[in-house]
A and B are shown apart, each in its own frame.
Chain A
Amino acid sequence: DAGVIQSPRHEVTEMGQEVTLRCKPISGHDYLFWYRQTMMRGLELLIYFNNNVPIDDSGMPEDRFSAKMPNASFSTLKIQPSEPRDSAVYFCASSLNAIGYTQYFGPGTRLTVL
């Protein structure tokens, strides 16, 4: 298997622009997680899905952030409008079966908002 795939790997945009990050989980994994990583706050869970249904979005910082999972093989994280403080590395991860099992992380998207 190719592992978790994320695109783009790097994104540079200007404040106010819309940003869409994409993720393809490992085939057969029922759970998908979106994380944000910064030096100050470490790894923060933003939202996770089970069987394409959002379960917990309490980590989403504000209404500018939204995530969707239209099918088992694709998810998006959208920021609209983007702000400089959104600059971070965003990771997608997937896991098999249930919470409390190995999460497989993608390579991340490094977002820079100017």
Chain B
Amino acid sequence: AQKITQTQPGMFVQEKEAVTLDCTYDTSDPSYGLFWYKQPSSGEMIFLIYQGSYDQQNATEGRYSLNFQKARKSANLVISASQLGDSAMYFCAMEYGNKLVFGAGTILRVKS
């Protein structure tokens, strides 16, 4: 079965600096998709970035990029130039059949 592991319960980053949120996954499927979502205190899950297992390049979406290391089964999210509004919970997820399997999440706090 698919499993997502996020080992950092909480992270701090100074405003304007970059931060990496870790995610490792376990699957026996050769084809899979990995997602990152942001959940601010308002509760809504906001889609950030997607990486397909056969994608040749690491995904990027504005200030978000995904450091995808397939052999290590890791899909770390990199946020560049952190902003105060980036303070939120971040979830890594993987598709499994008709559903998403989520990690436990990482709380990110951006300091001014």
A binds B: no
A residues contacting B by CB (< 8 A) are: none
